[in-house]
Structure 1
Amino acid sequence: MTFAPAPIPSRTQYVLEAIKHAILTAQLQPGQALVETELAAQFGVSKTPVREALKTLAGTGLVVMNQYKGAIVRLVDATMAREVCDVRLLLEPEALRRSIGRKVSLEAAQEALERADSAGDKADRSLANRDFHRALYLPCGNPLLTQMLDELRDQAALVSTVAWATIPTWEREAAEHREILRLALDGDGAAAARALHDHIASFVSRGFPDDEDGGDPA
């Protein structure tokens, strides 16, 4: 028997989305302390929904909870970015190849591309990009594979936000997304998977270059 997760109370959901948006627009910086009393006063709620929202955000990887320092926005450095990238490289191209093999509709991916192009800020653009990637792997036919990739979505969005603060390359990423989708719509699973692999790897390489190449970690 399986049980659906309990719905998040509306006040907690409101606080959660507000904090997430602030993190993904860099209004809350990596490493910044998230003080429950200050956030409660800011949002006009008690500390309980703030505490629950922070716990949820810690579960998605955007926030780190420390028994001594409290909650902080997760720090993003080259190591963290590459760890997220490594897992995506192992799973996401294969999930896309399987989706194409099942001849599914990719209308959701096209819609996400359009939202990313018209996004008003970095958070909306980053989340639309995550929706694009999810629309490619969601129909892969393996719920466990989908779940594993879903659990990386917020961390991948945070990596994008930090990288774009240094090198705003979203136009290049958008062009790469269009090419990936073109290959997917043509039914060329192998080529689409290769393009997706190169897209993920090159983004992290640009945003978080190796020290040996003369770059500094973010």
Structure 2
Amino acid sequence: MWVGVDVGAKRKGFDVALIDDRRLLALRGGLTREGVIELVQGARPAVVAIDSPRSCARDGARARDGERRLNKAICGIRWTPDARHVHASSYYGWIVEGFGLFEALASRGIEAIEVFPTASWTRWLGKRASQTRSSWSSEGLRILGLEGAPIRCNQDQRDAIAAAVTARLHTNGRTEMFGEIVVPLSSTRDALGNFSSPRRDLDNAPMAAP
């Protein structure tokens, strides 16, 4: 099994999806960090994929190197600045919540990866173009064909599901890494397990110009 987590600030909480090879097994919203940990410990997934940065940019930088490479190669992404800026503004409260979840999982020996669902949807569907984000990701959810997926759900829930599918692909070696960010290698058919593509690590790829 695999878990995907969409991270929110304290008031919003976490949206969590649990999947197996073909089915959506659980979809929860508004969970606390402790609630996520309880679900994960009960399910014992192979990997937990978290839609949140797992680290800050280096001191004085406005973004992480992997974010810059992903922005150039796949789709836009919000920058994660250095720790001083992250901890100085409530705007980044959700990132701080994500840090806490990564730390809590690591302390329990649970493998967690950073994902960016917009990049996953882009790899599966192509660029969003003029579609609304809602209709675009809803189309993606239908195409993924997970048994038990609701006909209607909100964007955070769809992103949690995309995160979980990305975790499954990562276990199967069908992802690449932009710094710490794990992204599917490309097609929707990969998400359904029909191809076997090697994982690639772009940590040492040339960095795009700022």
Fold-level similarity (TM above 0.5):
no
- TM-score, scaled relative to structure 1: 0.25
Q: Quick one: higher RCO (CA 8 Å, sep 6+), 1 or 2?
A: 2
Flag the structure with higher strand content: 2
Flag the structure with higher helix content: 1
